[in-house]
Amino acid sequence: MPSKVRIALDAMGGDFGAAVVIPGAAISLQRHRGIEFLLVGDRAKIEPELANHPALKAASKIIHTDVAVGMDDKPSQALRRGRKTSSMWLAIDAVKRGEADVVVSAGNTGALMAMSRFHLRTLPGVDRPAIAGMWPTKRGESVVLDLGATIGGDAHHLVSLAVMGAAMASVLFNKPRPTVGLLNIGTEEIKGHEEIRDAGEILRARNLPELDYIGFVEGDGIGKGLADVIVTEGYSGNIALKAAEGTARQMAELLREAIQQSWMSKLGYLFARGAFQALRNKMDPNKTNGGVFLGLNGVVVKSHGGISAEGFASAIDVGYEMAHTDLLNKINQMLNREGGALNFVQTAPEDVS
Amino acid sequence: MPSKVRIALDAMGGDFGAAVVIPGAAISLQRHRGIEFLLVGDRAKIEPELANHPALKAASKIIHTDVAVGMDDKPSQALRRGRKTSSMWLAIDAVKRGEADVVVSAGNTGALMAMSRFHLRTLPGVDRPAIAGMWPTKRGESVVLDLGATIGGDAHHLVSLAVMGAAMASVLFNKPRPTVGLLNIGTEEIKGHEEIRDAGEILRARNLPELDYIGFVEGDGIGKGLADVIVTEGYSGNIALKAAEGTARQMAELLREAIQQSWMSKLGYLFARGAFQALRNKMDPNKTNGGVFLGLNGVVVKSHGGISAEGFASAIDVGYEMAHTDLLNKINQMLNREGGALNFVQTAPEDVS
């Protein structure tokens, strides 16, 4: 466990760049005094922000570049134009060269994934990376993956997601053997793709010491908190996440509109304000911000692009936690030790998706 | 357009059987005086309920059977045990024999789909049926399909879903050319499975007179009401639906709990009660109850199993609307007329999912 956690920030990423990244870093530093920051980006934009945060300034080094990846750049464009020069690349490069333990960026997801994959490469035993996120549930939070890094995938891929997700949950929730469920649909005999059934059989047969496989979980089981880790391939994971986020936003808007309809309900709102605030806190995207790229030789955390400084601080917190608890080594051990999680399935037929 | 709509009800289906089905039918009959009911099930259970609803009794015939498909029966079990004898089968059979225009059942989804498919067969040009449902949106409602009848599928399948969904939306929303979107994930260059891209190209190239293809829609675009019809294969459709339902339930529970925390917020609730009621009405599953099986030689409506009489009445309403507006003929025409929607793609490679 490193005594100091060194975090590289893509200071130009996101809709607001340094104006959110620097104040966000200052907030996170108050919570975790042991962070050292590498701030990668345009010095002329970073320094004025830093001037407002002397403690952060003292804990930071700047790596200057005025090249930034655009929020709408395609991954291939970003790689072509921003390789070796952009703030995103140089932040990833700091991890690659061992100068940082984790990189956090609010830049565009496709570009960040493409650059991370290109430069950091996947871990031995992992074909394709994943994005893992935190999902607010009735019981607290669950890790859900893959949220859209990789579309489709065979049983081997799903098992590797289960292992990586379990490693993440074990360090985040401090549970030696988190529960893992495979996302599936309900009707008994048409249950799921072949690969989901196969992955379930493998997980059950292996009975791994690091995770407790509990079977299939339906879409409404995620929010019930039926498992600490919910595993699915990236297309359905992304659809599920966005459908849920959309519904939460829709309900909040409906409620707001309904309350505006009469002075009675406006008055009621004043009295019940505490309750609404509690609801907002629980479902606040700022609090669960930070998708973690898993399966790479390095930890990369992706923040929402349009987030506030408080939200960006949450993404840094996630990165801190991952580095502080040595997630990467834990995943590596689980994946690749003698008799490790994936040995059993590496003889399975190659990706057929 | 039939002058009288004849509806066959599986009076034994659902968690409560005749105790919900019969009062539900009475409610729907008040709204649609032109319905004639075929009540299929155990006469000893139906008649006591009917005694409370003289108007319904006058508009109904009973087809007696004391065989019922269990809510937990597997589809193959249900077919083996309930074929030609169960209330579910005989209700479907009434449609098959032309004695009813539509069948409504709250029985188990897998069994209902298996029996419907086995007995009614798919429409010419349709390989596999779909379940379509109504999704409450910011703008009103949208048709979403497939909600879980068929897992995976090629571009041909997705195009047939688009056509069937558009037919349903055009009669329900009274729009000659409803908008249609394909559900997909956001990141530009890893956008979706091959078959989704192909289906998009076909829909764009065909520029069908019956539907206005607007492109890809992300998971949070469903609730925004970005399209009248949202098309996806059944696995992701089911996951999206349940993730959204789960989130809505979770938020309602959180709000309830938060309000119970203090007397101030309880008092506020009393004042804002109207607003909460409006929210409940909008998101009420009773109001959007009724999944429609599309692609079969007959219209089958599936109600939730655990629904109230009011909710079951909504499912009957949906069935009434479908029959009253002659949905089946409309779909048939769109699918199979000269130069029809599917002719173009029937030369596409077979299902590769």
pLDDT mean across residues, chain B: 88
Please, are residues A25 and A4 in contact by the beta-carbon 8 Å criterion? Answer: no
φ, ψ of residue B79 to 5 degrees: the values are -65, -40
Cis peptide before B146 (omega within 30 of 0): yes
Looking at mean pLDDT, say which of A9-13, A342-346, B185-189, B282-286 comes out highest: A9-13
Angstroms from B215 CA to nearest CA on chain A: 16
In sequence order, what are the residues at sequence separation of 6 or more whose Cβ sits closer than 8 angstroms to the Cβ of residue B138?
A250, A253, B223, B224, B225
What DSSP letter does each residue of B152-171 carry, written as one string?
A: ---HHHHHHHHHHHHHHHHH
Residue B339: pLDDT over 70? no
* Lowest mean pLDDT across A343-347, B127-131, B139-143, B287-291: A343-347
ipTM associated with this complex: 0.85
Nearest to A242 among B220, B248, B276 (CB): B220
Please, are residues B108 and B270 in contact by the beta-carbon 8 Å criterion? Answer: no
What local confidence, expressed as pLDDT, does residue B188 receive? 55
CB contact under 8 A, B272 and A276: no
pLDDT one digit per residue (tens) for chain A, 353 residues? 446 899 999 999 999 999 999 999 999 999 999 899 999 999 999 999 999 999 999 999 999 999 999 988 989 999 999 999 999 999 999 999 999 999 999 999 999 999 999 999 999 888 889 999 999 898 889 999 999 998 888 999 999 999 999 999 998 899 999 999 999 997 555 566 889 999 999 999 999 999 999 999 999 999 999 999 999 999 999 999 999 989 888 888 888 887 777 777 777 777 777 777 777 777 666 667 789 999 999 999 999 888 899 999 999 999 999 999 888 888 888 777 655 566 654 444 434 33
CA distances to A236, B38, B52, B137 from B58, rounded to whole Å, are 49, 11, 12, 38
Angstroms from B277 CA to nearest CA on chain A: 9
CB contact under 8 A, A250 and B137: yes
Residue B285: pLDDT over 80? no
What local confidence, expressed as pLDDT, does residue A347 receive? 42
CB contact under 8 A, A251 and B250: no
Q: What is the value of pTM for the model shown?
A: 0.87
Q: For residues A261 and B281, what is the distance between their CA atoms, to the nearest angstrom?
A: 15
B122-132 pLDDT, tens digit per residue, is 998 888 899 99
CB contact under 8 A, B236 and A234: no
DSSP state of A123: P
In sequence order, what are the residues at sequence separation of 6 or more whose Cβ sits closer than 8 angstroms to the Cβ of residue B237?
B144, B145, B146, B147, B148, B183
Residue B154: pLDDT over 80? yes
What local confidence, expressed as pLDDT, does residue A81 receive? 92
Contacts of A268 in chain B (CB under 8 A): 267-273, 275
Helix intervals (H) in chain B: 18-31, 43-50, 54-58, 75-82, 87-96, 109-120, 155-173, 194-206, 219-223, 234-260, 263-271, 273-283, 309-324, 327-336
CA A280 vs. chain centroid, Å, equals 21
Angstroms from B353 CA to nearest CA on chain A: 8
In sequence order, what are the residues at sequence separation of 6 or more whose Cβ sits closer than 8 angstroms to the Cβ of residue B260?
B266
A233-263 exposure pattern, b = at least 16 Cβ within 10 A, e = fewer = bbbbbbbbbbbbbbbbbbbbebbeebbeeee
Residue B75: pLDDT over 80? yes
DSSP β-bridge partners for residue B8: B38, B103
CA distances to A94, A182, A289 from A226, rounded to whole Å, are 38, 11, 21
CB contact under 8 A, B110 and A189: yes
Q: For residues A281 and B208, what is the distance between their CA atoms, to the nearest angstrom?
A: 46
Q: For residues B134 and B285, what is the distance between their CA atoms, to the nearest angstrom?
A: 10
Among the CATH numbers 3.40.718.10, 3.40.50.300, 3.40.1440.60, 2.30.30.280, which is that of A1-120? 3.40.718.10
B214-253 pLDDT, tens digit per residue, is 999 999 999 999 999 999 999 999 999 999 989 888 888 8
What local confidence, expressed as pLDDT, does residue B344 receive? 52
Nearest to A219 among B183, B246, B273 (CB): B246
Angstroms from A112 CA to nearest CA on chain B: 11
Residue with tokens 């349940």: B242
Put simply, whether B302 touches A (Cβ < 8 Å) is no
CB contact under 8 A, B244 and A242: no
Summarize the confidence of residues B141-168 as an average pLDDT. 93
Q: Is the dihedral of CA B185, B188, B190, B193 positive or negative?
A: positive
CB contact under 8 A, B271 and A267: yes
Nearest to A235 among B149, B185, B270 (CB): B185
Window 188-227 of B: residues touching A by CB (8 A cutoff) are: 188-190, 192-193, 218-224
Q: For residues A249 and A254, what is the distance between their CA atoms, to the nearest angstrom?
A: 9
CB contact under 8 A, B235 and A239: no
Contacts of A254 in chain B (CB under 8 A): 278-279, 282-283
Please, are residues A269 and A276 in contact by the beta-carbon 8 Å criterion? Answer: yes
Q: For residues B174 and B321, what is the distance between their CA atoms, to the nearest angstrom?
A: 11
φ, ψ of residue B213 to 5 degrees: the values are -75, 125
Window 65-104 of A: residues touching B by CB (8 A cutoff) are: 74-76
CB contact under 8 A, A244 and B243: yes
Which tops the pLDDT comparison, A315 or B281? A315
